[in-house]
Amino acid sequence: VGIADRNKISYSQAASVDYTPIYDAHELLHTFAFCSGALDDHIFHSFDNYVYLRLTGRERYGADTMRSGAAQLMGYNLQFIKNDSDPAKRAEQCRGYLGNLMTVLYYDSGIETIKRLYRATIKPGPAATPNQTIASLFGTKGNQFQALVNALKRDAQYPLNVPECGY
C-alpha cells in the first residue's frame, strides 16, 4: 500500500504488512502510465483485476460483482454529471464514468480491448485534438481523453452519449 509520484512509489510499511491480498498492482499502474505517457486519472484500473488474476489464478473480486457494481456507478456518475454545474465536480464524475466503463468493458470484452484503448492514449496524434468540452474539463490531458473517446466510438460496443463530458 503506497503512493505513486511520477516514477517513484513510496510504500507504507505498516499498511503493507497487513495488506490482503499480498499483490497490489495499483501504484505500479500509475508509474507505468507516467513512464509510457498513457492516460492515468484512475481510468484503467481494470488492469488491477487482470494482474491479480494472472498472479493468483483467480479473480480478486467476483466478475459479476465488479461488472454490476461498475455499471451501477456509471448511472450514479451520469446522474451527477447532468445535475452539477461545477466544472471541477463534473470533470471528476466524467473521469469516474470512463473508469467504470473500462471495468464493464474488461469483463464484457476482455483485456485485449482495454489494452487497445490504453495504447490509444499514449502520445495521441492530431486526430485527438479535444473538443471544447473535453478541453475545458481536462486541460492538458484533453487530447488523451479525446483519443480514448475516439477509440471507444470506433471500437467498443457501448455507445457514448454524455455531451456534458464531451463524449
pLDDT in the model for residue 16: 55
Q: What angle do CA 136, 125, 37 make, to 5 degrees?
A: 80
Model confidence band, residue 6 (pLDDT cutoffs 50, 70, 90): confident
Grid cell in block for residue 69: 457494481
65-115 pLDDT, tens digit per residue, is 888 888 888 888 898 898 888 989 999 999 999 999 999 999 889 999 999
pLDDT in the model for residue 45: 84
Grid cell in block for residue 23: 499483490
pLDDT in the model for residue 112: 94
Report d(CA 142, CA 39) in Å as an integer: 10
Model confidence band, residue 21 (pLDDT cutoffs 50, 70, 90): low
Q: Say how many C-beta atoms besides its own lie within 10 A of residue 53's C-beta.
A: 14
Predicted model pTM: 0.84
pLDDT of residue 38 exceeding 90, the answer is yes
More confident position, 155 or 77: 77
Lowest-confidence pick of 29-33, 54-58, 86-90: 54-58
pLDDT in the model for residue 24: 65
Report d(CA 25, CA 164) in Å as an integer: 32
Q: Say how many C-beta atoms besides its own lie within 10 A of residue 55's C-beta.
A: 13
